């Protein structure tokens, strides 16, 4: 741990050591874009001035309930996070966030880890940029468990600010919706058409280990294989990403909760980040209370985990950073995160790295289409003749090639309605042909849903 001589410390704190300060100044001067260099320099200077004011208030014994101190602190933290984010993107080699984090954490400790320490709050806002960075444990308890190697940052018992309007609106509002199976819900993998690779991996990686913990221990010792911490599925809409997640919950007999992303967004400052953290904390509590893994499903995960390189707003940066921290914490507390997206290219690379092998959930092939049609037509008497005709089924499978599972279900429902209008006749191939015309279902180009680096390569089911 670094010991700081406060007698030689500058009156205006730069928030990082002299070596890093020198490196940053040199890097800024070397930027070809002089306007951007000046912007970074000005932002850094403003952060320094605000930090000096906050530090002065803190040393004077001002409490966090003081409104003026709060105003300066909030402004400083916002600008500090923005500065760290821009520098992290502009000068990746400096490892600026990690080194900043360690500096402020040392400051927090050297100041006696005071309850009202603003340095710890700086660590909180910087941490969203410390991708993969694990600070060492700060030991305050004389009794230490030998197996503890990494712990969370010390929590400060500080006085809370008065609740904002956004806080009141979100109080007691759960962002997780418990999945409650219905008669149409899958009873297991047997009702999932296609996706053989994904079903196999889910069985081997999750179901087998839950059913046989000894097998899990043996595989970990012999092969280093453990239960996956997260599963990411991507591909065209309507191909069964949600359906197979529900089937997994049924097979594993595990609680499944769906993250209501529409409720997480907020126009209030910091509220979206707080909602994300609250949702993951709720999932962790569910896993702890039940004593078994909890499945947390995030559909359209790109909505909250978008690529930070595409945004410049400070709130957006904090939102993604909070989500990264929340995922890391949840995955250490028996929460299996399942993400789904139609827009893989919009995901932040750090979000993608939180998952093991992402799966490309493709459009159904001929076998999957045949199995889906069999499930649909076998349950209705007016579909029996069509199902029994091998020639008609071959035509129908070819006709529906290129459509998603969802589209095939919609087309089939409309075909049934058309047959009923024909004096309650049997469903025919012609009914399907007419249904396609009126259903407005389109054949998606699956290459639109692949990562940019894979669009010119052969397409397989599993993307690794």
- Is the Cβ–Cβ distance between 43 and 82 less than 8 Å? yes
- Is the Cβ–Cβ distance between 93 and 127 less than 8 Å? no
Instruction: Give tens-digit pLDDT for 235-268.
Output: 999 999 999 999 999 999 999 999 987 777 655 5
**Of the spans 166-180, 213-227, 394-408, which averages the highest pLDDT?**
394-408
**pLDDT score of 154:** 38
**Of the spans 196-205, 261-270, 301-310, which averages the highest pLDDT?**
196-205
From 343, 267, 240, select the one nearest 301 (Cα to Cα).
343
Instruction: Give tens-digit pLDDT for 425-453.
Output: 999 999 999 999 998 888 998 888 888 76
**Distance in angstroms (rounded) separating the CA atoms of residues 72 and 53:** 7
| Structure-block tokens of residue 235 | 């591909």
Greater model confidence, 124 or 242: 242
**pLDDT score of 168:** 35
**pLDDT score of 116:** 63
337 membership: H or E segment, kind and range:
strand 335-341
| Structure-block tokens of residue 378 | 């076998």
Instruction: Give tens-digit pLDDT for 139-176.
Output: 333 333 333 333 343 343 333 333 443 443 444 467 89
Whether 294 has a pLDDT exceeding 70, the answer reads yes
**pLDDT score of 209:** 86
3-state secondary structure of 180: coil
Whether 10 has a pLDDT exceeding 80, the answer reads no
Q: String of b and e for 206-231 (b: at least 16 CB within 10 Å)?
A: bbebbeeeeebeebeeeeeeeebbbb
**Residues of the chain above pLDDT 70, percent:** 80
**Distance in angstroms (rounded) separating the CA atoms of residues 6 and 8:** 5
**pLDDT score of 245:** 95
Domains and their CATH numbers in the chain: 18-129 (no CATH), 167-360 (3.40.50.300), 366-439 (1.10.8)
pLDDT tier at 332, thresholds 50, 70, 90: confident
Whether 381 has a pLDDT exceeding 90, the answer reads yes
Q: String of b and e for 285-310 (b: at least 16 CB within 10 Å)?
A: ebbeeeeebbbbbbbbbbebbbbbee
Greater model confidence, 217 or 431: 431
Instruction: Give tens-digit pLDDT for 59-112.
Output: 777 665 677 888 888 888 888 888 888 888 888 788 888 888 888 888 778 777
**Distance in angstroms (rounded) separating the CA atoms of residues 19 and 248:** 52
From 175, 135, 377, 361, select the one nearest 282 (Cα to Cα).
175
pLDDT tier at 178, thresholds 50, 70, 90: very high
Mean pLDDT of 262-287: 80
CA separation (Å) from 253 to 93, 292, 327, 338? 46, 10, 23, 16
Residue 294 dihedral angles phi and psi, to the nearest 5°: -115, 130
**pLDDT score of 166:** 41
Greater model confidence, 210 or 452: 210
Whether 115 has a pLDDT exceeding 70, the answer reads no
| Structure-block tokens of residue 207 | 């179901």
Residue 259 dihedral angles phi and psi, to the nearest 5°: -75, 120
Mean pLDDT of 327-353: 91
Whether 401 has a pLDDT exceeding 90, the answer reads yes
CA separation (Å) from 369 to 275, 341, 379, 391, 433? 40, 22, 16, 15, 16
Whether 192 has a pLDDT exceeding 80, the answer reads yes
**pLDDT score of 29:** 85
Q: What is the mean pLDDT of the chain?
A: 79
**Distance in angstroms (rounded) separating the CA atoms of residues 151 and 52:** 30
From 436, 450, 425, select the one nearest 344 (Cα to Cα).
450
**pLDDT score of 4:** 35
């Amino acid at each position: 741990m670094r010991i700081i001589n406060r007698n030689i410390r500058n009156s205006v704190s730069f928030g990082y050591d002299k070596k890093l300060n020198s490196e940053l100044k040199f890097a800024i001067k070397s930027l070809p874009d002089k306007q951007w260099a000046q912007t970074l320099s000005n932002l850094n200077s403003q952060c320094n001035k605000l930090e000096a004011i906050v530090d002065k208030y803190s040393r004077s014994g001002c409490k966090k309930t003081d409104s003026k101190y709060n105003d300066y602190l909030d402004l400083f933290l916002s600008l500090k996070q923005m500065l760290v984010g821009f520098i992290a993107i502009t000068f990746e080699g400096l490892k600026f966030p990690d080194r900043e984090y360690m500096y402020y954490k040392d400051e927090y400790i050297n100041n006696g880890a005071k309850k009202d320490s603003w340095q710890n709050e700086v660590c909180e806002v910087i941490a969203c940029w410390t991708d993969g960075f694990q600070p060492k444990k700060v030991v305050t308890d004389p009794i230490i468990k030998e197996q503890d190697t990494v712990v969370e940052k010390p929590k400060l018992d500080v006085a809370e600010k008065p609740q904002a309007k956004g806080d009141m609106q979100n109080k007691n509002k759960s962002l997780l919706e418990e999945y409650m199976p219905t008669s149409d819900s899958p009873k297991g993998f047997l009702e999932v058409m296609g996706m053989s690779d994904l079903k196999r991996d889910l069985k081997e990686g999750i179901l087998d280990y839950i059913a046989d913990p000894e097998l899990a221990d043996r595989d970990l010792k012999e092969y280093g294989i453990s239960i996956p911490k997260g599963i990411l599925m991507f591909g065209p809409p309507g191909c069964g990403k949600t359906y197979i997640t529900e089937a997994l919950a049924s097979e594993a007999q595990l609680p499944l909760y769906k993250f209501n992303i529409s409720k997480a967004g907020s126009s209030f400052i910091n509220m979206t980040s707080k909602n994300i953290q609250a949702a993951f904390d709720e999932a962790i509590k569910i896993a702890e209370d039940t004593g078994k893994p909890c499945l947390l499903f995030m559909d359209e995960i790109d909505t909250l985990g978008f690529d930070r390189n595409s945004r410049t707003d400070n709130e957006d940066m904090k939102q993604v950073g909070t989500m990264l921290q929340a995922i890391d914490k949840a995955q250490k507390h028996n929460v299996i995160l399942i993400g789904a997206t139609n827009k893989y290219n919009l995901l932040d690379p750090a979000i993608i790295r939180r998952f093991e092998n992402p799966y490309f959930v493709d459009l159904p092939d001929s076998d999957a289409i045949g199995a889906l049609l069999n499930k649909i037509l076998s349950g209705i008497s007016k579909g029996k003749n069509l199902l029994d005709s091998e020639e008609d089924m071959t035509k129908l499978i070819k006709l529906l090639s290129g459509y998603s599972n969802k589209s095939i279900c919609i087309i089939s429902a409309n075909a049934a309605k058309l047959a009923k209008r024909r004096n309650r006749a049997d469903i025919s191939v012609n009914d399907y042909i007419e249904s396609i015309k009126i259903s407005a279902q389109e054949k998606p180009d699956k290459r639109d849903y692949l990562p940019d680096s894979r669009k010119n390569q052969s397409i397989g089911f599993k993307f690794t």
